[in-house]
Amino acid sequence: MVLSAWWALLTLALAAFELQSEAARRGKNRTLDTAKPALLQLSEHLLTHYNKGVRPVRDWRTTTNVAIDVMVYAILNVDEKNQVLTTYIWYRQHWIDEFLKWDPDNFDNITQVSLPTESIWVPDILINEFVDVGKSPDIPYVYVLHQGEVQNLKPIQVVTACSLDIYNFPFDVQNCSLTFTSWLHNIQDINLSLWRHPDQVKFDRSVFLNQGEWELLCVLSHFREFSVQGSDSYPEMKFYVVIRRRPLFYAVSLLLPSIFLMVMDIVGFYLPPDCGERVSFKITLLLGYSVFLIIVSDTLPATAIGTPLIGIYFIVCMALLVLSLTETILIVRLVHKQDLQPHVPDWVKWLVLDRATVLLCCRDRKQFSPMWAQRAESTRHLESNDSSTKLNHYSGEIPQEYEGAGGMRPMLTTLARGESPAMMHSILQEIISIRHFLEKRDASRAIACEWLQVGYVLDALLFRAYLVAVLAYSVTLGTLWSIWQYA
């Protein structure tokens, strides 16, 4: 009896096992037995009872880990005035959806399928720095693997706020952050991690368009947890996009014209100080530089909180041109109409002609005198000798060469005695007036020569001081820009 009962139970177990095997075999080969495609059957199987409004975990204590990745494709725009950076990135994220798993053996060995994004649960990962909606293409599908991994790959045009520092323009390096975080879920519900290793993300320029104004240096990544006023902790993943401006265009269009104008201003000092064309030349340079600043004003970045160093450079160059013109006007005024000026004060002679020449490493004052002043000095001596000869002639002091001529002296003496005393007195008064005029003219020329020497010495001294200031300023800026360029 017992034996028959055991045999009956064994028979029932074998029958149930055969029925289960048959059902599994039929389920395995269901795509072969129906007209529906395997993809359609799989999508219906996954989405029939799917609820996209619930986080896809079977145990609510399980944390959904979202791995994200960023690849910079292009730098579209850097708006310094509004402090906005526009980039085009390839964004990738994946997570595990426990309700989207299947056995590939039951669906014709399908291991992955694309499903509509709007039909499944997607984490609310946003970028905190978003300030405007970019023109991103709409990617309506995600990839789902058979073990439940969901891959969401899409390009995004990101318009974000960024603190742009333009002080070093055009040799500036900008560091803008893209902060990815869940807007609602805390770290117990959704956690963030990197899809790839940080070093791979840092130096990845495989898809970057490297022909624009900006050069991608690196993309740094950093994860941290934060809480707001003691509330729950939230995860965030920061990507620091470090870019550097290519300065060649700005160096050619901004720096070189300014340098050329400053060089011409320095060359203008070699025009004579008493030449009126020197003032005209300096004024022309100043007007040209003003027009240049008007043209480049639209090229320089403008912000409400700072001015780029190159803007300060242009203003200082403008100030140097104004100082150069002022110095030229003062020197021209000093050497103009010297005959109407008084004698050079003794303290000016001591300070300028004695001490200043020592600073200029020059002991001979004559090299600071213009050529026409030296010629005037020679002419003055000749005319003085000639006037003395004439005065001696008319006063009866006959030169020695006339003594050798026989009978000439008695004849002149007789003519002199035959004249009336009034006529002789008138002639002598005219000669004395001429002599006084020549002496006054010689004194005026001496005063003019002294003022010219003072003007030439001051011009040489101010020129060297101006040259030292320009060179020191240029070397300082060049050193700073070189350090910023190769840092």
Helix orientation angle between 276-296 and 256-267, rounded to the nearest 10 degrees: 170
Verify that 158 and 233 share a domain, yes or no. Answer: yes
* Coil/strand/helix, residue 241: strand
315 within a domain of the structure (yes/no):
yes
Predicted confidence (pLDDT) per residue in 138-195, tens digit: 889 999 999 999 999 999 999 999 999 888 888 889 999 999 999 889 999 999 999 9
Which residues are CB-neighbours of 142 under 8 A, at least 6 positions away?
114, 115, 117, 120, 122, 150, 151, 152, 153
111 within a domain of the structure (yes/no):
yes
pLDDT for 102: 92
387 within a domain of the structure (yes/no):
no
Confidence category of residue 28, pLDDT binned at 50, 70, 90 = very low
pTM recorded for the entire structure: 0.69
**Average pLDDT for 205-227:** 90
Q: What is the DSSP string of 57-108?
A: -SSTTSPEEEEEEEEEEEEEEEETTTTEEEEEEEEEEEEE-TTS---GGGTT
161 within a domain of the structure (yes/no):
yes
* Coil/strand/helix, residue 222: strand
Name the CA radius of gyration of the chain, rounded.
49
Q: Residue 272's beta-bridge partner residues?
A: none
108-117, 229-238, 282-291: segment of lowest average pLDDT? 229-238
- pLDDT score of 400 more than 90: no
Phi, psi of 139 (to 5 degrees): -105, 105
Q: How many residues are recorded in the chain?
A: 487
Verify that 226 and 80 share a domain, yes or no. Answer: yes
160 within a domain of the structure (yes/no):
yes
Verify that 238 and 326 share a domain, yes or no. Answer: no
Q: For the chain, what is the domain count? A: 2
pLDDT for 86: 94
Residue of higher predicted confidence among 325 and 352: 325
Residue of higher predicted confidence among 368 and 206: 206
User: For residue 229, is it left (φ>0), alpha (ψ between -120 and 50) or beta?
Assistant: left
9 within a domain of the structure (yes/no):
no
Confidence category of residue 121, pLDDT binned at 50, 70, 90 = very high
Verify that 334 and 200 share a domain, yes or no. Answer: no
224 within a domain of the structure (yes/no):
yes
% of the chain beyond a pLDDT of 90: 34
pLDDT for 74: 94
**Average pLDDT for 192-210:** 91
- pLDDT score of 391 more than 50: no
Where in the sequence is the domain holding 257, given as residue range(s)?
A: 246-364+436-486
Verify that 135 and 95 share a domain, yes or no. Answer: yes
Q: What's the mean pLDDT when you consider all of the chain?
A: 79
Predicted confidence (pLDDT) per residue in 70-112, tens digit: 999 999 999 988 899 999 999 999 999 999 999 999 888 999 9
39 within a domain of the structure (yes/no):
no
Verify that 220 and 251 share a domain, yes or no. Answer: no
